[in-house]
Every structure is written in C-alpha cells, then in structure tokens.
Structure 1
Amino acid sequence: MSTSSVAKTMGGRVALVGTGSRAAMFIRGIIARPTSSVVALCEPNSIRAAYYNELLVSLGAPSVPVYKPADFKKMLKDENVEILVVTCVDALHDLYIIPALEAGVRVLTEKPMTTDVEKCRRILETVQRTGRHLTVTFNYRYNPVHELVKRTISQGKIGEGELMIVSILSVHFEWLLDTVHGADYFRRWHRQKNNSGGLMVHKSGHHFDLVNWWIDAEPETVAGFGKLAFYGEEAGKKHGWAKNYERARGNEEARKDPFAINLEADPTLKRIYADAEEEDGYHRDQNVFAPGIGIEDDMSVMVRYNTGATLTYHLTAYSPWEGYRVMFNGSQGRLELEVVESQYRLPSNEEGMDGLIHGNQSLPNAGGATVTLHRLWQKPEKLPVKVDHAAHGGGDTRMLSVLFGPIPGEVADTGDASKQGANERDGAMALAVGLLANESFKTGKFVDFKSLNLSL
C-alpha cells in the first residue's frame, strides 16, 4: 500500500508557517544541524513570532523576518525558501502546501495533512500536476516500539500464508486520553470540527496511519458511533463537573475546576498564548464544559481493508490514565502491544503543566510498554522493547534525524527508521478513515472510501 522508501535527507533554507507549541521541536532540530537554517517565519501574531525569534537567538541562530499570511508567496521568493514546514491550524494547511509545491519548494506538514475531502483533493491534484511530493510527519512511525511491531508483522510471525504473503485478519486498537491531555483538545481551537476535523482527524489520524502502515493495507469501508459524552455543557452538568466560566484566566470559579489550566504557570504557554492573546483574541484556556463544543470525546469505529482485514477502534478522551492497547490477530498467532504513557494524573493546579503538550516531555507518572508474541501452540514471548516517554516515544528525535540528517557526532540511521517516511498518499489514507468515521457519525451508515473520489 505505502509508497514510502528509503528517505533522502534534506537540508537548506527552511521557513515555518505557524508558531504554536509544535514549531519549537522543528526549530530546535533544524538549528542543531549545520546543513539547514531557519530563514523566515509566517505567522499572523507578532507577539508569538517574537518569542520564536528569541528562541532562535538563544540557540545561536540569527533572528529572521516574519511574514503575514497574505505575504506567504512573497516570503517563498524573497527568502529563497527551499523547505517549508507547516505547523499552523489544521484547516489552513492547504493554503500553504499548494502554493509551496507550485513554487518548487519541498514541503513537510504536520499531521493531519488537511481536514476535509475538498482540501485533500486539491492537494493531491497539485502533487499530480507538479510532480512534487509532500512529506507528512507521522512521527509515531519512528517510535522504536511501533517499529518493532511493524518488523514483527512483516516477518510473518503471526500470519504468513502459503504464498508467503503476510496476512493480518483483524486488529483491535483502544486509545485512552487522560483528563489533562485529553481535556486540552476541548480548551482550544481543536474543539471546533471546522478547525481540526475533530479527534478522528486531528489525533486518531496518527493511529489510522499506524494501522495502515503496520498491516500494509488501505481502508475500504468505515462505520462508527461518536458522541460528546463527558465534556461540553450538557454532559458537564449531568455528571456534576460543570463550572460557570468562559475561560480560566482571571476567573475565580476556574480556580476550583480541576480541568482548568493556568497559562501563567508555564513560561512557554504564557509567552505564546497568554501574552499574545491581546493581538488576536485567541483564548488557549477555555472551559471544557462550555456550550458550543463541536467535537466528540467518545468514539467507536470499524474499518474494513482491501486485504480483508478489519479494525475495531475506540477512543476515550476522558480516561484516568493515558495509553493504548493494540491487538493483531493472524493465521499463525497474535501480537499484543500495550503502552502506558501515564498511570494516573492529578489536577493541573496540583501537578502543573507537565505533559500538557503531548510529546514535548514525559508525561507524569509514566508507565511502561510491552509487546507480547503469541504463536499458535507455543508459550507467549515478551519481545524486548526500548521505551522513551519523551518526544512521542522517541519518534520526534528519530524523525528529525531521518528528515534532516543526524546531529554532528551522531551516526545516520540507515535501518528501519530511514524507510518510514509518509507521503501525500499515506496522509490521504489516514485522513480518509477519520473523514469517513465523521460521516458515519452523522448518517449512521457504513461509508465507502470510493465515495471520497480521491485521485490516488
């Protein structure tokens, strides 16, 4: 299914679109490599952009020009941009991906590639017209534990038929977001589906890509149920968690709310959100039990693939602990993965902002990871795993090394990680599952991949 191949490292003049929290990982990684440099930022909020220019200077790099979105094409030309990294609001990705590809710039975009089928079609059409490909930074592919799963399946350990074709019959994937990290998607712009596509697109796209890649298959049919069961005004009142405020900053009622965050408690969040809100009015600390939330927090999905395999997937965004369990069933046995990213959480006002921005650091009270191989007629085998709870399980660090080359003194990764890059086709396939799930939530019907009319 995947067209991924051994990655060719890139270098040169890099510009970033969007200066939210995710941009910092790319900036630090680029500046650490002498073959690349950050030459420009595209960001509507000058206060937020100034923070990132300060970060550049603190890392020993010069400050760079800041362009408004209306001047994006001018930036590409005037700054001789060779590589563009897109980290802005999901629904805006296409506005930068398309003109950059048309200008001959190499583009890396954060997942999801985009948020609806029309934007996806336009991106794919641009790729076909220009002959230039897009890299979607599915960092979970580079996580060593996930790599172990991929390798074990590819070796036919649980299912290889007479024709030596690896055959996975079914997959079950349960994902749990806790009441600090999970709640965070209901405080900010992600809470509206027109911005993020909902958790099926913005977050579960990680997992849909993993399954597509793990079992080397493409989705055909999707069905599901989704609901706002815990967050939002109605559920908050029903379960006794609701508090009466719009946003936490400066509100006494929010101090009593274990779901509220204090932006001033974290220096980075204060600088890029609290201090910057006077310019654009964006509130990063909205009440998770407020009216008007437009995304779901509890979702069950079924997927049938072109190989005949099926997936059952469940997301809970209000769990006491955080992690995921994945089970693969094959003709020769079963493979089980369990990752506990956080065994439990305390309210934000007790443990601070640690782990609020997933992947930036280890989650508090981190647990472990296990991969168990069950072969028919044999004792179960615990496979050796390398666990890293920071940087998305080590995926961010390895992804940067593959994309931009190793940091001086490090050895280039020429093994499995170098072959795991995702392109626009992979991005579209992960997006498709989320979009079809959202459609099924509305209609109550099974929805076919063909209905999206994507030219792949």
Structure 2
Amino acid sequence: MVKRYVQVGTGGRAEFFYGAVVRDFKDTSDLVAFCDINQTRMDYANRLLEEKYEHPQIATYLAEDFEQMIEKEKPDTVIVTTIDRTHHTYIIKALELGCDVITEKPMTIDAERCQEIIDTVNETGREVRVTFNYRYAPHNTKIRELIMNDVIGDVYSVNFEWALNTQHGADYFRRWHRDKRNSGGLLVHKSTHHFDLVNFWLGTTPETVYALGGLRFYGRENAEARGVTTFYQRAHGSEAAKNDPFAIQLEENDHLRQMYLEAEKEDGYQRDQSVFGDGISIEDTLGVMVHYQNKAILNYSLNAYLPWEGYLVSFNGSKGRIEVRVREQSYINSGGKKEDEGKLEEKSIIVMPMFGEQYEVEVEEGHGGHGGGDPLLLQDIFGTPIEDGFNRAATHVDGAMSILTGIAGNMSLNTGMPVKVDQLVKF
C-alpha cells in the first residue's frame, strides 16, 4: 500500500523528510503537497524536487488553506516541520481531519499545548510519530543494549554534558529559536533529544526536575560587558558583520539565499540576525538535575559556545560504569551537505566492570547522518518497519516525556523551585 503524504513547513529541516520520500521510498510513499506561510519557500522546495530529485513539482497551499489541502489531497499522513510553536496547531488539525502525523521534535513547547495533543490523540485514535533520530544512531542503540543486558547492573546516576560549538551553537541565536516564545529555549528545542535519550537508555521517565541557567555569552549585554563596541542587528548589508566570525552571510550560500534571503519579502523573517544583538530570550548556559521514576539521578549540562561539538556521558551502576565520548562534525542548518549533519568524528564507549578490566565496546557505524542513524529512522517511518527489540519508534507519549523534562526545567528556571512532572499533563 502506498501512503499519501503532505508536508507543512518547508524550511531548513524539511528536505530531510521530503527528499527521502521522493528519493528512497517511491514504492511505499507518495508526496502530494507542500504547505507553508511563505510561497517563495515552497517554490524553492518544488525546484529542489524537480532539479535535485527529478520528481515532478507538487501542489502548494498557504497555511490558511491547510484544511482545504487535507480535503482535496486526502493524505494518510501529515509531516510537520514548521517552527516549534506551531507544531501543535498542525498536529491537532491533522488528527481531527483523520490523518496520522509525523512531527519533527520537539512535539510542542509547553504543557498546555502538550495536553491538547494528548487529548486529541485520545479522542481521535490517530497516531503521532516523533522523529528522534538520535535513538537510531548505532552508538546510542548500543548503550541501550548494554544497559538492557545488565552489563553495569541497575543505573543509579548519569552525568551528561552536551557541547555546542561556536558554529552550530551560535546558529540558534541567529534564527527564530532565539525567541523563547518560538522554541521553548534550548531546554525544549535542543535538549528534547538528550532527555529522550536518557528515557530511552534507562527505560524510565522523569519525576522531578530542577534547573539553573541563563544567557551568559550571547546577547548584546554580554558582548558589552566583554568590551565589544560595534554592533549590528543582522549580517546582510552590514559592514561590521564582514569581519565577525559569528556572522552568517546568506548571499554567499546559494541554498540559504534562495530559502531565506529571497523569501524575506513575504514574511519578514531574517535568518542572519546577530548573536550579539538585542531580542534574545533563550539561555546559552544550562544545568539540570532530574530524578526519575526508577530512582536514577541525572546531572545534565548544555553550553552553546564551546570549541568543540559533541557529548560526554557516564552511567554509574551497581555492577560498574560506562563512559561515552562522542565528537560530532559541526554544521549550520541548511548551510552544507545533509550527510554532514551529526557526522561522527570521534566515538568511544568504555565499560568499567566493578571488578575486572575495563574494555572498549566496538560499534559498527552505517552510512548517513548520526553514524547511520538517519537512514534507519527514515526506513522505519517511510519504509516497511521491521521488528525492533529496542523500541526506537517514538510515540506521542515519548515525545511528551522528552519535552516535559525541558518544560519543567523552564518552569524551575522561572521559580527557582523543583517541578513535579506528573503535575504538568495527564495521559
């Protein structure tokens, strides 16, 4: 059976999905329409379909015609890749109109919208899949396997440090993500990956969350405190930006130019804002402590201005310890080759038995982003699923439990108090 798909949102993350559908899954999938607030961006996506993938151009609908699109195109599934604050709008509409949903993470950005999605799934009986590609990365699956196989016994604590560098990390402060009303901040937009991994690895869910953090490096106030005296609001057309290593020049990248710079005339969105400008309301330095239902404790940190990209994680258990170090190829969203996004430069998994010699665990990586995890995710979504003992396919419940850690963290940042996750939504 061939499933019909429409995709709402044709920005930087969209091609990951529509490109795979028309290139690799023609036998099981049929992409029939795009929907967006910006016609120029949809036209560019259609040119990519035709020129890059040799696929006929498809119908386009402006966002206000979403329901008309569903009625006319009769899709089985809606792919949601809009900005985070609008995910719930299209998820809920699609479910109510009889469609299943595949949504980019995070599923949404606050508890109220999360509850609306849960209620709508319960009412309609339709399915929501959240695309956590990190679950499918072979080294992350191997960690799950080691813990499932009781290699270090019961896991009592996890230390997890995520490093974003001054290329990738800075990019969140140039784009719409810099406004917390759009993204929920990095604790929701980015850390949802990481909190989902801990849930996945340990087979548990968060109970209590406490967070600290703030904007320490980016933002005009921090730049002024370091003695910076030259400022600009966006890079395009700015002389000051030409010598700024934090600036991105849209006109110098053909993909970014056509997707964003040429589309500005319709919605006014500026993709190249200064990371040291005004208007940034998200944090760049974060620390979170989580207590889980199985009594494990997580110490988590994220910093978005470091000289390397990747993560360090250690698991302390009743029979030993696992130490993981992963260094990733940094990237700018839509600024380079898709296969470079999350490409591994260095990876090690060390097991330290409580009594015995430590050893390194070998992991065979695949081709594609995130050590071969991206193609596995896409196959699971658009191809013929196979039995998976690791249960990597993420439902709306998994999507909720990942963002609720970040949502609770944001609440804790505001109040200075720990937050009980089970008081945020009801399933």
Per the normalisation by structure 2, the TM-score is: 0.95
Mean Cα displacement is larger for which, 23-32 or 296-305?
23-32
Question: Where do residues 231-270 of structure 1 align in structure 2 (5 Å cutoff)?
Answer: 231-240=218-227, 243-270=230-257
CA–CA separation in structure 1 for the residues paired with 2:111 and 2:332: 35
Match of 2:345 among 359, 364, 367: 367
The aligned counterpart of 1:445 is 417
Could you say what secondary structure the match of 1:392 adopts? helix
CA displacement at 1:69 relative to structure 2: 1.1
CA contact (8 A) 1:243 1:254 kept: no
SS at match of 1:393: helix
Q: Name the counterpart of 2:164.
A: 177
| CA drift at 1:70 | 1.1
Give the distance between the partners of 1:235 and 1:15, measured in 2 at CA: 43
Pairwise CA distance, 1:80: 1.0
**Is 1:279 matched with 2:266?**
yes
User: Cα 1:107–1:182, aligned 2, differ >3 Å: closer, same or farther?
Assistant: same
Q: In the alignment, what sits opposite 1:190?
A: 177
**Count of aligned pairs between the two proteins:** 424
Task: State the secondary structure of the residue aligned to 2:340.
Answer: coil
Does structure 1 residue 89 correspond to structure 2 residue 80?
no
| Residue number among 314, 324, 327 corresponding to 1:337 in the alignment | 324
Partners of 2:260 and 2:270 within 8 A in 1: yes
Name the counterpart of 1:348.
none
**Distance across 2 between alignment mates of 1:26 and 1:242:** 42
Query: How far, CA to CA, are the matches of 1:377 and 1:364 in structure 2?
Result: 35
Counterpart amino acid of 1:393? G
**Aligned counterpart for 2:17 among listed residues 23, 26, 30:** 26
d(CA) in 2 for partners of 1:364 and 1:219? 26
1:108-187 matched pairs, under 5 angstroms: 108-159=102-153, 167-187=154-174
Stretches of structure 1 that go unaligned for 5 or more consecutive residues are 1-9, 160-166, 346-352, 407-411
Match of 1:4 in 2: none
Which of 400, 404, 421 is the equivalent residue of 1:432?
A: 404
* Residue 385 of structure 1: how far off its partner (Å): 1.9
1 CA distance for matches of 2:160 and 2:332? 26
Shift in Å, 1:393: 3.1
Instruction: Show the counterpart of 1:103.
Output: 97
Percent of residue pairs identical: 45
The CA deviation string for residues 18-56 of structure 1, in whole angstroms up to 9 with x for no partner, is 001111111111012122111001111111100111111
Please list the CA deviations of residues 46-76 of structure 1 after superposition, one character each: whole Å capped at 9, or x if unmatched.
Answer: 1110011111112122211111111111101
Contact conserved, 1:263 with 1:269, CA < 8 A, in 2?
A: yes
Aligned to 1:55: 48
Q: Secondary structure at the match of 1:261?
A: coil
5+ residue gaps, structure 2, are none
Whole-angstrom CA distance in 1 between matches of 2:144 and 2:322 = 11
* Distance in 2 (alpha carbons) for counterparts of 1:357 and 1:142: 24
Residue 392 of structure 1: how far off its partner (Å): 3.0
- Which residue in the other structure is 2:188 paired with? 201
Kept in 2: contact 1:359–1:392 (CA 8 A): no
The equivalent of 2:39 in structure 1 is 46
Cα 1:355–1:281 shift into 2, 3 Å: closer
Output the CA distance in 1 between the equivalents of 2:132 and 2:31.
Answer: 22
Given that 1:220 and 1:449 are in contact with CA atoms closer than 8 Å, whether structure 2 keeps it comes out as yes
Cα contact 1:48–1:273 (8 A) shared by 2:
yes
Contact 1:366–1:389 under 8 Å retained in 2: no
